[in-house]
């Protein structure tokens, strides 16, 4: 159900102030060194999922789009950031560990599907018993197989799952196209496969193809970036971080600390400008602008010498939050209906964290079961 936010601009300002305080309180000195540490990946995932959640609330849940503006304008950036990090994570993992194709699919697909199945079972049951909503059997079966050709926010069981089908496509083609020795060539092949898919645009992909068309570059770009990172893993092994490299470059050009912080400010400026002037609806130009926005935020996070632990935890549970946030917000929301918008939004941040933790725990329990014939033992979650 859509919600009306009283004083949406004021509520947004109050929430931004609270959110800023939360981030400031969670600041810690960066612990992990290296070129692109796992903690940094989780922080960026936190930025990505918050961008998606804020967008869905500000533009599709609230009747007034001024609520959460400008936090709500980077949903496309969040999707590209997720795709970039997924491409980077898969490629780096495959470079460091040579998995066979069956091992790759068992490891990766189980991590995708088990939490999805839990969420689908919960929401299909809730919709049936509490909202008296039933879905065609073919729709239910297709959902459990991860195929979502439509993305109707108000009618589908969970419309953001169009992304699941897209990432599933990448997971299927990745082990066949990726080469540990030639990751850059692999990136080109993966891009060409995506390009051919959107060029073909089969009718059975439905509405989803319109989303794929503006997100074709990010995943292969992440694979390409992994190739650059892996070209000198000795730096990472030696604990050389990007901030250290940046300071040395600035010192070399006699810019010292001023140049270092100027570079950080410039990356934020690029992020802010391109996020606001995003060229939405302009096809390839929209995608390229979004990738500029992604580059701005990634460069800033690479350069900074501290970390936001709150973003880290949000990012750690970002996949789980992605799976359940919209059905809760649209069909089962109580907070926005009875509380001020800023308070409801603040509570939802921590509620989603708690539910994300719970879903991950359930997934880990199920993944730890020795299922006959499946070989699903206890396995650490992938860092992609």
Q: Which pLDDT does position 31 carry in this prediction?
A: 80
| Residue 151 and residue 162 in contact, taking contact as beta carbons nearer than 8 Å | yes
- In the predicted model, is pLDDT for residue 98 greater than 90? no
Cis-peptide into 337, omega within 30 deg:
no
The CA angle 187-267-215, to the nearest 5 degrees, is: 35
Predicted confidence band of residue 376 (pLDDT cuts 50, 70, 90)? very low
Average pLDDT along the chain:
89
Closest CA to 22 of 305, 310, 300: 310
Query: What pLDDT score does 232 carry?
Result: 55
Confidence check: pLDDT of 250 > 60:
no
DSSP 44-73: HHHHHHHHHHHHIIIIIIBSSTTTTTTGGG
> Within 10 Å of residue 351's Cβ, how many Cβ atoms?
14
Which comes out higher in pLDDT, residue 180 or 271?
A: 271
- Is residue 222 within 8 A of residue 215, CB to CB? The reply is no
The pLDDT confidence band at residue 369, using thresholds 50, 70 and 90, is low
* Position 246 confidence tier, pLDDT thresholds 50, 70, 90: low
Quick one: pLDDT at residue 51?
97
Model confidence pLDDT, tens digit, residues 200-218:
999 999 989 999 999 999 9
Each residue's pLDDT tens digit, 152-165: 999 999 999 999 99
* pTM given for the model: 0.90
Q: Which stretches of 231-279 are DSSP H helices? A: 233-237, 242-252, 256-276
Q: Residue 247 above 80 pLDDT?
A: no
How do beta strands 306-308 and 27-29 pair? antiparallel
Q: Residue 260's pLDDT is what?
A: 78
Q: Which pLDDT score, from 0 to 100, does residue 383 have?
A: 38
Q: How far is CA 95 from the centre of its chain?
A: 22
Of all helices (H) and strands (E), which one includes residue 344? helix 341-367
Confidence label for 285 from pLDDT (cuts 50, 70 and 90) = very high
């Amino acid at each position: 159900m859509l919600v009306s936010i009283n004083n949406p601009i004021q509520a947004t300002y109050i929430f931004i102030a609270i959110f800023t305080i939360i981030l400031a309180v969670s600041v810690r000195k960066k612990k992990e060194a290296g070129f692109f540490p796992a903690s940094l990946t989780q922080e960026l995932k936190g930025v990505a999922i918050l961008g998606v959640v804020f967008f869905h609330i500000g533009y599709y849940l609230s009747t007034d789009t001024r609520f959460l503006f400008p936090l709500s304008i980077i949903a496309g950036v969040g999707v590209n950031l997720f795709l970039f990090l997924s491409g980077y994570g898969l490629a780096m993992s495959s470079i460091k560990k040579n998995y066979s194709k069956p091992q790759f699919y068992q490891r990766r697909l189980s991590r995708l599907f088990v939490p999805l199945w839990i969420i689908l079972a919960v929401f299909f049951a809730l919709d049936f018993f509490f909202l008296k909503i039933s879905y065609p059997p073919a729709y239910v079966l297709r959902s459990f197989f991860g195929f979502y050709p439509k993305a109707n926010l108000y009618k589908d069981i969970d419309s953001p799952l169009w992304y699941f089908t897209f990432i599933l496509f990448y997971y299927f083609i990745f082990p066949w196209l990726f080469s540990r020795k030639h990751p850059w060539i692999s990136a080109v092949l993966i891009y060409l496969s995506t390009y051919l898919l959107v060029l073909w645009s089969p009718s059975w992909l439905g509405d989803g193809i319109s989303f794929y068309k503006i997100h074709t570059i990010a995943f292969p770009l992440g694979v390409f970036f992994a190739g650059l990172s892996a070209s000198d893993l000795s730096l990472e092994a030696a604990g050389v971080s990007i901030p250290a490299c940046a300071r040395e470059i600035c010192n070399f050009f006699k810019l010292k600390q001023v140049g270092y912080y100027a570079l950080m400010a410039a990356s934020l400026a690029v992020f802010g400008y391109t996020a606001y002037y995003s060229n939405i609806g302009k096809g390839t130009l929209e995608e390229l602008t979004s990738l500029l926005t992604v580059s701005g935020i990634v460069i800033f996070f690479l350069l900074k010498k501290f970390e936001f632990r709150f973003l880290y935890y949000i990012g750690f549970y970002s996949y789980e939050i992605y799976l359940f946030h919209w059905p809760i917000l649209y069909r089962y929301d109580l907070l926005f209906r009875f509380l001020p918008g800023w308070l409801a939004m603040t509570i939802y941040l921590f509620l989603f964290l708690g539910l994300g933790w719970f879903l991950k725990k359930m997934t880990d329990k199920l993944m730890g079961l020795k299922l006959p014939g499946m070989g699903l033992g206890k396995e650490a979650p992938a860092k992609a």
